[in-house]
């Protein structure tokens, strides 16, 4: 799901969230993440202590002052709101003559899904299925995907 579809009022319904975000310009949000960014920036510290999360950033280290600024911001704010990071912040890099972003993303995706799968399959009797997209192409930026995955707090099944 694009961050433009993120409903901040329903954030308490999710126990596990995976954010994949791109930085634009001076480390800020892409157009589709602006509302989410503004909510994080102005929120009066909602209680996200029920939530586990991780963040993958799509950035370019040629911009040293703002490298993956959006990913770092999302990671810091969600953590400050009480959520627990279940997988380290990971930063993909599109800098240089050889763009390593796809490789960074592919390596991260495999590792994070290995961590998420056991959490999500804790109860396979549920009728709720959440599908995590292998690729959700972003057409407005250089990142391989920009999405957030929201797994409900109630029991659920995980499928890829």
**What pLDDT is stored for residue 24 in this prediction?**
86
Per-residue pLDDT, 118: 78
Residues 9 and 150: their CA atoms lie apart, in Å, by 13
Instruction: Give me the pLDDT at residue 8, please.
Output: 66
- Residue-range domain boundaries for the chain: 3-159
What is the predicted pLDDT for the residue at 149? Answer: 52
Q: Give residue-wise pLDDT tens across range 37-64.
A: 998 999 888 888 988 899 999 999 998 9
Q: What is the pLDDT of residue 69?
A: 95
Q: Is 131 exposed, middle or buried (0-12, 13-18, 19+ CB in 10 A)?
A: exposed
SS3 readout for 18-73: EEEEECECCCECCHHHHHHHHHHHHCCCCCCCCCEEEEEEEECCCCCCCCCHHHHH
> In the prediction, which pLDDT does 67 show?
94
- Give the number of other CB atoms < 10 A from CB of residue 74: 25
pLDDT of the chain along its 160 residues, tens only? Answer: 677 777 667 766 777 888 989 998 888 988 888 888 998 999 888 888 988 899 999 999 998 999 999 999 999 999 999 999 999 999 999 887 777 888 888 889 889 888 887 776 654 444 333 444 433 333 333 343 334 454 433 333 333 3
Q: What is the pLDDT of residue 154?
A: 36
CATH of domain 3-159: 3.40.50.360
Are the C-beta atoms of 4 and 141 separated by less than 8 Å?
Answer: no
Q: Give the H/E segment covering residue 22.
A: strand 14-22
**Can you say how many angstroms the Cα of residue 96 is from the centroid of all Cα atoms in its chain?**
24
């Amino acid at each position: 799901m694009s961050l433009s579809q993120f409903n901040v009022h329903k954030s308490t319904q999710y126990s596990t969230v995976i954010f994949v975000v791109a930085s634009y310009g001076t480390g800020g949000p892409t157009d589709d993440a602006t509302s989410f960014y503004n909510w994080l920036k102005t929120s009066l510290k909602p209680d996200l202590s029920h939530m586990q999360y991780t963040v993958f950033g799509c950035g370019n280290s040629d911009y040293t002052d703002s490298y993956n600024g959006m990913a770092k911001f999302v990671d810091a704010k969600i953590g400050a709101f009480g959520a627990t990071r279940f997988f380290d912040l990971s930063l993909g890099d599109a800098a240089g003559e050889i763009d390593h972003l796809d490789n960074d993303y592919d390596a991260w995706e495999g590792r994070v899904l290995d961590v998420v799968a056991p959490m999500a399959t804790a109860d396979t009797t549920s009728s709720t299925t959440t599908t995590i997209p292998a690729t959700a192409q972003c057409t407005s930026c250089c990142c391989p995907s920009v999405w957030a995955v929201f797994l409900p707090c109630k029991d659920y099944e995980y499928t890829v």
